């Protein structure tokens, strides 16, 4: 559609250019005709003057001859009138052609502007929709990242709590191990003492038995 309108506009402009060219050609032809007629009348005047003054071919026209000047004045007026009439006609035709060209260009420009506005509005609407969709996707991604961040923070807090509990339990276990080691050491010491006491008792019992045996032998 736009190509057809541009083609029609170019065709109209070419027609207007052709009309202007024809007008210029007509003007040049009119000027040539007027100039030719002026030259012809001037030649006629010169011939008439030469015929009336046969005695002297080199003599100049009499400046007191009013008819000659009247003839030239009438010729000048006639030429000016013809030129003015033709110029007015050409000016009117040119104004009409320019007015039509201006209206055609204005209409075509409005059509192009309206079409461009519609296309730009449609493009902007599509772009707005695409940007809105992308923004919604970005917002959804941001929400998901925030949720993951919250979950990560919760997991990290849980891990830290478990680490604190583990280290607390480990400290308690170490303390219990120290107590158990101390008690075992005390128990081992007590066992050693008990063993030593038992050895002493067994020795004393052995010595006492030997004495009894000796006394028994003596009695016998």
202: which 2 tokens?
Answer: 């067994």
Q: Can you give the pLDDT at residue 39? A: 57
Q: How many CB atoms lie within 10 A of CB 86?
A: 15
Residue 57: the pLDDT is 42
Two tokens at 105? Answer: 């260009």
Is residue 45 within 8 A of residue 71, CB to CB? The reply is yes
Report d(CA 41, CA 36) in Å as an integer.
9
- The reported pLDDT for the residue numbered 136 is 92
From first to last of the 220 residues of the chain, give the pLDDT tens digit.
433 444 444 444 555 555 556 555 555 555 555 555 555 555 555 555 554 444 444 444 454 555 656 666 776 677 667 666 666 666 777 778 778 877 887 888 888 888 888 888 899 999 999 999 999 999 999 999 999 999 998 999 998 899 899 888 888 888 888 888 888 888 888 888 787 777 766 666 656 555 555 555 555 5
């Amino acid at each position: 559609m736009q190509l057809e309108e541009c083609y029609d506009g170019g065709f109209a402009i070419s027609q207007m250019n052709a009309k202007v060219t024809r007008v210029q050609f007509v003007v040049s032809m009119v000027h040539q005709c007027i100039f030719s007629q002026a030259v012809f009348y001037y030649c006629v005047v010169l011939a008439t003057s030469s015929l009336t003054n046969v005695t002297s071919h080199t003599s100049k026209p009499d400046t007191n001859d009013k008819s000659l000047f009247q003839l030239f004045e009438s010729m000048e007026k006639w030429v000016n009138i013809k030129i003015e009439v033709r110029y007015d006609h050409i000016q009117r035709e040119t104004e009409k052609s320019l007015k039509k060209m201006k209206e055609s260009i204005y209409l075509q420009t409005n059509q192009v502007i309206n079409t461009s506005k519609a296309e730009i509005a449609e493009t902007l609407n599509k772009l707005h929709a695409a940007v809105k969709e992308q923004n919604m996707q970005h917002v959804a991604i941001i929400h998901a990242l925030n949720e993951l961040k919250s979950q990560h923070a919760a997991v990290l807090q849980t891990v830290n709590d478990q680490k604190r509990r583990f280290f607390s339990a480990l400290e308690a276990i170490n303390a219990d191990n120290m107590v158990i080691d101390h008690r075992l050491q005390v128990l081992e010491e007590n066992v050693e003492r008990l063993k030593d006491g038992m050895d002493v008792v067994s020795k004393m019992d052995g010595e006492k038995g030997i004495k009894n045996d000796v006394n028994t032998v003596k009695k016998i």
